Structure 1
Amino acid sequence: MRRRRQCTTWSCFAVGVQCQRLAKHDGPHEASPTPTYDRHWSWTDEDPNGITVLPGTVWFHRPERARLKKIARLLAPWALLHGPIALLLWLYVSPATAVVFVALELVTSVRRPRFVDLGRFTAGVWPVTPAAPPLIFGIAWATHGEGRNAKIAGLEVVLGPVVVGAFSLVPRSEWPAYKRSQAAFKALQKESRS
């Protein structure tokens, strides 16, 4: 993997900022004072004091730091809170209790939908919709469609802020037509790319 490098050019005007674009870029140098600032400065090598203020953010993201920050943000709660609790459960109650605790903590910490497709069926975890009544635990049927006549597709279990479910994507009678339409869609996508 090729390492991304930041342009080393600095501006000569009073603020003195480093270009936030990639090294060996085409066009003028550009920089924002912060990663979320709504404007950026632009200047050229010929006239480093000739600054133009433009809309938008230009910021060089260092992938190594971003990855380390994300890992630290994920591991900090486990290292400070969940790890010692799991260890105490393992030592004083039972290993099975510690495993169940860790599994429940992982499931309830989901913030975005996560699904695994298993042919006609799928299983996943997703956050509860904000409009739903608050529940600590609940069991419900997942259905194809709405109303009393809808066919049952699978099972959903509400665990506080998340729902864990396993269900079929389409009814068995519609599965062959669904597979044909998916194959046609993939062929059309492949054709449009080439």
Structure 2
Amino acid sequence: MKRQRQCTTWSCFEINVRCQRIARHEGPHAASTRPTVERHWSWADGAPTEVELLPGTVWFHRPAPSRAGRVARRLGEWAAIVPGALLLWWLTSPGTTVTFIVLELLLSVRRARFFDVGRFTAGIWPAGPAELPLIFGIAWAVHGEGRSAKKAGLQLTLGGTTVGVFSLAPRREWAAFKRAQAAARQGGGR
């Protein structure tokens, strides 16, 4: 299967969107600002300042990387991290090197992972696409909404990654929570 490339043409600076069609396409350029928008902008090569707003979504769907591509990317990342870590070890201290590697591992998380122990869970998860990534943040995880919600644990945010340790349910509700889980596992939930 030949990989399709995206058209590289941009519209005028007033709208500033990139064409979302494949490279070397026929007809005018077109682009929606997001894949969920029901309209798109359309413009021609000869007149990039004459832009029309038309119905319908036009969005270039990038092909998912192959397994070999993902492995190559991870190897490339580590090819840059290891020399940096060795340089830190040589110039500063082992503690600085360990901190650097731990931060690199935290910031490279691509999917959520959780580890449950009884009533508590520890997890690491990336920020969603709609969330602004923080440089650094510490916050309470709470059960419920509003200011009167009970504290459940602690969250630490670095870049677009959050690490948290918190309880799955308040202590008073834990027995009922376990009974509901057991009933759901048996298939009845009654």
Residue matched to 1:147 = 146
One-letter identity of the residue aligned with 1:153: A
Kindly tell me the number of residue pairs found equivalent between the two proteins: 127
Please show how residues 15-94 of structure 1 align to structure 2 within 5 Å.
68-79=68-79, 81-94=80-93
Q: Are 1:112 and 2:85 counterparts?
A: no
Secondary structure in 2 matching 1:71: helix
Identity %: 57
Q: Find the residue that maps to 1:136 and give its secondary structure.
A: strand
Q: Name the CA distance, whole Å, in 2 between partners of 1:124 and 1:132.
A: 18
> TM-score of the superposition, structure 2-length normalised?
0.60
Q: Distance in 2 between matches of 1:118 and 1:73?
A: 34
Structure in which a larger fraction of residues adopt helix: 1
Consecutive unaligned residues in structure 1, runs of 5 or more? 1-32, 37-65, 190-194
Task: After TM superposition, give the deviation of residue 135 of structure 1 in Å.
Answer: 2.1
Q: Tell me how far apart the structure 1 counterparts of residues 177 and 153 of structure 2 sit (CA, whole Å).
A: 18
Q: Please state how far the C-alpha of 1:180 moved relative to its aligned partner.
A: 1.2
Moved over 6 A (4+): none
1:153 partner SS: strand
- Distance in 2 (CA, whole Å) between partners of 1:108 and 1:167 is 21
1:76 is displaced (CA, Å) by 1.6
Given the two structures, how large is their TM-score scaled by the length of structure 1?
Answer: 0.59
Distance between the aligned counterparts of 2:106 and 2:138, measured in 1?
Answer: 16
Give ranges in structure 2 of 5+ residues lacking alignment. 5-65
CA RMSD between the two structures:
2.2
Partner of 1:182: 181
Distance 2:132 2:74 in 1: 29
Which of structures 1 and 2 has the bigger CA Rg?
A: 1
Structure 2 letter corresponding to 1:121: F
Query: Do the aligned partners of residues 131 and 82 (structure 1) sit closer, same or farther apart at CA in structure 2, a change above 3 Å counting?
Result: same
Query: Which whole-Å CA distance do the structure 2 matches of 1:135 and 1:35 have between them?
Result: 35
